[in-house]
A and B are shown apart, each in its own frame.
Chain A
């Protein structure tokens, strides 16, 4: 009885410790702890599922696959996901489910990659049924199939529909541009392809930033890099504003003292230039200085105060900056100008 109780307490503690480690960003250690626990209780399907999900999340797909044997039936799709990410598409198709959007899309992509287009057509019927005919992913896949089979004319309205829902969708932009060119609509086709070309580096930057966040989600600079990438796309899609704002906020919160200056400068620029919230920008810089005194932050804050007409506050910041860097010509010049203006 005592042994059972002790065992139960140990399990709960181990589980809590693992979850804490996961939340603190020590995800590999967390999974290692869970694996030890699973070795003691190999029939624990919930724990096994948690481990597989965790391994998938940190990109250890082979390891995820190794834990799949023993998953409950309703979670077999996870085995399909692991195989999919290992590019073992043939095998993945045996496990990927037909009810969840993510797995439906993986199934479609696996079939396409394998060149099994007849099956893809049948799978599209399933997707229409599960996700709905108007689902944007379904529409995009339908359009791509039409493009592949040379039905450009029928693909065009579908692609326009996709772009109405997702203005930055590169597949739709490229597909539409190409289809229009083939249909003889050269001017509009090239215009769309030029637009696609302009967007691509920004989308690549966003993809790169997202990978950084996936690798280390608790890294402040990673979050701010994501925010910057989203911000760069705002001229093309204002709908990204909230995501961008959330990533700046999170990045600022997560920044270590050493990371605060560069992170805060970028967050402040977002507040000042993008949101036009000048008060918020100065408050953010002041808060940043409280966390890490830094000349760059004081100079930027001084510049903002200066532009807001608060000359004395600007001068105060510059004088403190000059204390830290007495020979800095740029700071001296700013001080001289402010004194002159006063």
Chain B
């Protein structure tokens, strides 16, 4: 059960899409957010991407920058945009990724835009400096999702950025019926996809475009979501890319940061019916407790969101319907999604933010609407889900043009709260009103590590450290387990090294240290 506490918190961020009579497709995207500890005080902060009027004709009259709100760990936030340096960026924003790219132990940000992307280096106080040019990154196209990950296991964070469409703002096509009020946003099928980019971190603060040399030349999908995880269980990080209305891609890592297309073998490019879907957001996790990382993709209406079960042999199976996830997601357009234990019962539940892209969709299909209710699915522990949206309180109470959805413990009461972004609407913070949990929380692990919590009951919970990308965003890289009876913890870092903490761990927050196969835990007060 969630309560909307946005007003209480005083967070007044309203996304501006720059809606125009020309129905320019970028207006439909909404924008993402990062829910990470950006000032290093141990509490989650919010970096909110803004869009604004479109840069038509080369000019832009917008004033609203991206915003940074620092959290106090009690559920309170203060707006520090004015002192955040270049983080107050004023591009037409899309998404954000978050990681320490230069090894100074402060989180940095990469912001994707309709226009030049920016790399923002953090100094650990909540202030950021634009290092795009000095880092050798240059991308002025329409980019969308981004993920930092250590592709070649050399200890630094490489970057994959999805590029969306070859779109001309100066010449927007007319779509829909030629009647007043009926002009509609065009389908992405009208436009060509453009190549994603893979930026290899050279370890000295600079990046090189390694798209081709890494084997990723054939990445001309209409990319929105991207996440990194060890999907084939060989110890390195693979990539899954959600493309809009064309085949999704699974890129299998050789272990050295080069990739081959594993989509056909895995069966994750299309749904179980062999049809392409309009991939938007992504969540990964071990949803059925078998120790392998499954993939959940949000899609367009008249499609369902799709759950790909990891069969463990490099192959996946679409089990959406048998998992109870198909029918409820057929009507809405899914965007942000999280896989997290929202009710503290040791399995991963799913929450999805929905909202159509076409603001006058009801003219074309009177059963549909621009604003739509979110969905909440409760896991029964075996990977079968029940739609509990009607019991979720503020999460699914009000139809919204939902886009991003991110989870984190904002008030440090042990359970996971939610943050959701809305296209051309207000950011919402939803407090989890559950009884509160007493989890084991591990900080300081390398992103995308895999953690196995061995419980006294014999059950083993496999958890990804993250970050989870949801839709165009990022959450904190931490691992959580809602059990008070953790007997042993195993951690496998990208590159395949496993460290073990062999003795019981009490609930609490810990900073993890990895050395010579041993995991040490230092309690965080």
Chain A residues in the interface with B (C-beta under 8 A) = 59-63, 85-87, 89-90, 110, 112-115, 117, 148, 170-175, 177-178, 181-182, 190, 193-194, 196-197, 200-201, 204-205, 208, 215-216
The interface residues of chain A lying within 8 Å CB-to-CB of B331 are: 86-87
Q: Interface residue count for B (Cβ, 8 Å)?
A: 30
Q: Which residue of B lies closest to A60 (CB)?
A: B366
The docked-state distance in angstroms from the alpha carbon of A90 to that of B327 is: 9
The interface residues of chain A lying within 8 Å CB-to-CB of B274 are: 170-175, 196, 200
Question: CB within 8 A of A216: which of B177, B246, B269, B323?
Answer: B177
The answer to whether B367 touches A197, judged by C-beta atoms less than 8 angstroms apart, is: no
The answer to whether A197 touches B247, judged by C-beta atoms less than 8 angstroms apart, is: yes
The docked-state distance in angstroms from the alpha carbon of A170 to that of B273 is: 7
B window 247-276: CB within 8 A of A? 247, 264-265, 267, 269-270, 272-276
The docked-state distance in angstroms from the alpha carbon of A178 to that of B273 is: 11
B window 311-344: CB within 8 A of A? 315, 321-324, 326-327, 330-331
The docked-state distance in angstroms from the alpha carbon of A341 to that of B274 is: 54
Contacts A89-B327, A115-B321, A190-B264; is A201 near B177 (CB within 8 Å)?
no
Contacts A113-B321, A190-B265, A204-B245; is A174 near B365 (CB within 8 Å)?
no
The docked-state distance in angstroms from the alpha carbon of A216 to that of B175 is: 12
The docked-state distance in angstroms from the alpha carbon of A196 to that of B247 is: 11
Shortest B345–chain A CB gap in Å is 21
Q: Which 8 A-B pairs have the closest CB atoms?
A: A174-B274, A87-B331, A170-B274, A87-B330, A62-B366, A86-B367, A113-B327, A62-B367
B208 in the interface, Cβ–Cβ < 8 Å? Answer: no
The answer to whether B245 touches A200, judged by C-beta atoms less than 8 angstroms apart, is: no
Chain B residues in the interface with A (C-beta under 8 A) = 177, 187, 189, 245-247, 264-265, 267, 269-270, 272-276, 304, 315, 321-324, 326-327, 330-331, 364-367
The answer to whether A61 touches B367, judged by C-beta atoms less than 8 angstroms apart, is: yes
The answer to whether B326 touches A115, judged by C-beta atoms less than 8 angstroms apart, is: yes
The answer to whether A194 touches B264, judged by C-beta atoms less than 8 angstroms apart, is: yes
Q: Is the interface of B mostly helix, strand, loop or mixed?
A: loop
Shortest A65–chain B CB gap in Å is 8
The interface residues of chain B lying within 8 Å CB-to-CB of A113 are: 304, 321, 326-327, 330
The interface residues of chain B lying within 8 Å CB-to-CB of A148 are: 322
The answer to whether A200 touches B276, judged by C-beta atoms less than 8 angstroms apart, is: yes
The interface residues of chain B lying within 8 Å CB-to-CB of A204 are: 189, 245-246, 276
Q: Which residue of A lies closest to B263 (CB)?
A: A197
The answer to whether A170 touches B321, judged by C-beta atoms less than 8 angstroms apart, is: no
The interface residues of chain A lying within 8 Å CB-to-CB of B366 are: 59-63
The answer to whether A61 touches B269, judged by C-beta atoms less than 8 angstroms apart, is: no
The interface residues of chain B lying within 8 Å CB-to-CB of A174 are: 267, 270, 272-274
Contacts A194-B264, A215-B364, A216-B177; is A114 near B321 (CB within 8 Å)?
yes
Shortest B309–chain A CB gap in Å is 12
Shortest A80–chain B CB gap in Å is 14
Contacts A60-B366, A215-B177; is A200 near B247 (CB within 8 Å)?
yes
The interface residues of chain B lying within 8 Å CB-to-CB of A172 are: 274
User: Can you name 10 A-B residue pairings with CB atoms under 8 Å?
Assistant: A59-B364, A87-B327, A89-B327, A170-B270, A170-B273, A170-B275, A197-B247, A204-B189, A204-B276, A215-B177
Contacts A62-B367, A170-B274, A173-B274; is A115 near B264 (CB within 8 Å)?
no
Residue from A63, A89, A174 having most chain B Cβ neighbours under 10 A: A174
The docked-state distance in angstroms from the alpha carbon of A80 to that of B116 is: 50
Shortest A301–chain B CB gap in Å is 28
The docked-state distance in angstroms from the alpha carbon of A190 to that of B265 is: 7
Shortest B178–chain A CB gap in Å is 9
The answer to whether A197 touches B269, judged by C-beta atoms less than 8 angstroms apart, is: yes
The answer to whether B264 touches A197, judged by C-beta atoms less than 8 angstroms apart, is: yes
The interface residues of chain A lying within 8 Å CB-to-CB of B247 are: 197, 200
The answer to whether B365 touches A60, judged by C-beta atoms less than 8 angstroms apart, is: yes
Shortest B255–chain A CB gap in Å is 22
The answer to whether A114 touches B327, judged by C-beta atoms less than 8 angstroms apart, is: yes
Q: Which residue of A lies closest to B271 (CB)?
A: A174
